Chain A
Amino acid sequence: MKIHDSGDVLTISNIKELAAGNSDSFREEVRAAVPSGVKAIEIDLSDTDFVDSCGLGALISVYKFVNSRNGPVPVRLVNPAPSIQQIFELTRLHRIFEIVKSE
């Protein structure tokens, strides 16, 4: 997993999966990397081929963390695979996270 802080936007990428086996470490690493005053979080799911309920919990935890510290901060999920996007839609989490398709 890679974390890049450009000042206003924290970008997390190279995530192979978000599942029970790594969701705790994902949550802790991202929370530790969130700078004060961050304007947006972008989580690149291009390389992610699996998300389970623990992974969803980790994403929700990150969302609640940044929004409790810095006011309204969008958390964008970039390029999720169709099967993963379906999970966000089934759980209605696409109303919480911004799902972004980039080139």
Chain B
Amino acid sequence: MSNRSPVLFDVGWNACINCGACVAICPQPEPFISPFDTIAVDRPCDIACMLCEDICPVSTIEHTVLDGSIKDIPNGNGRSDIHP
């Protein structure tokens, strides 16, 4: 969990392979899922742990921080420190 600002996720549908990994990793206690079986994109995520971005096999999830700034996440960026 983090103390970051809430974020709004954006799924690049052209690259999404509907694998469901983003939903599987999501730690939200309540379902946080879109009608297309991806992470929800129509409401803010107040946990902002970014695990959904980290697990995506094709790096097609990005987010907007809801304090107004925009964070672009190119391939692999946003991943946690590397450890086994």
- Whether both chains belong to one complex is answered with no
